Amino acid sequence: MYRSRRQRFGAYRRDGGVCLIEITLRELKQLFNTLDPAPFHEKDLDPAAEEYIVSAVREIGSKPSRLVLHLPPGTTDDEACGMVAAIRNYFADRTRHAREQLRLLFVRGVISLLIGLAFLATCLSVRELLMATVQPGDAIASEGLLILGWVAMWKPVEIFLYDWWPDLDKRRLFERIAHLQIETQPGLAAACPRDPLPAVQLANA
């Protein structure tokens, strides 16, 4: 169904400068998760198929690419168009999910920041009280409170500096795949819309 590891990480076949991501199907259901009871055009992709497409698009990067589905003999135009729509629908849903995960990450970051600032302010206030008195061990306790207060800021700093990049990259990758040019072989689906999921739907979802 999919290329071998050697082929997959080697050179892709090209057509006029466009890298071809090719999937050969013996039967249409190979592309989908067999446990998903959803209608054909709403089914989840098979995990191996998703991983292959995502890895290929990531590997190809910004170079032009096209997904080519080699369909089994006897596939009708409606079935071919359904395959194209199913792939676009799936990765559009993945885009929306990745966008929601990114939003939730920032919400968690803001909450963590507020908690961290409140805890840091408390630690600094207690430290000021300790420094106003001269008692054995106060210096150690005050320095400990200072360190503890800044440690509480570690999580929000990590979120806003580092954690959001992978989620943003994932969202952009899924959006690219949702709008990837898809070709069926043999060329059955000539009447399929070029992009049944317009960019505005993804942007506003």
Average pLDDT, the chain: 80
Q: Summarize pLDDT for 37-48 with one digit per residue, the tens.
A: 555 566 788 888
Pairwise pLDDT comparison (152 vs 141), residue with the higher score: 152
CA distance 198 to 108: 31
Contacts (Cβ under 8 Å, ≥6 apart) of 10? none
CA distance 129 to 119: 16
- Closest by CA to 122, choosing from 153, 154, 77, is 153
Q: Break the chain into its structural domains and give their ranges.
A: 5-204
Kindly state the average pLDDT of the residues 123-136.
76
Cβ atoms 192, 84 nearer than 8 A? yes
Q: Report residue 17 as tokens.
A: 């400068």
pTM for the whole structure:
0.75
Pairwise pLDDT comparison (74 vs 133), residue with the higher score: 74
For residue 17, name the pLDDT band (cuts at 50, 70, 90).
confident
For residue 188, name the pLDDT band (cuts at 50, 70, 90).
low
Contacts (Cβ under 8 Å, ≥6 apart) of 118? none
| Sign of the torsion angle spanned by Cα atoms 75, 15, 175, 173 | positive
CA distance 15 to 84: 20
For residue 186, name the pLDDT band (cuts at 50, 70, 90).
confident
Q: Summarize pLDDT for 65-105 with one digit per residue, the tens.
A: 899 999 988 888 888 888 898 899 999 999 999 999 999 99
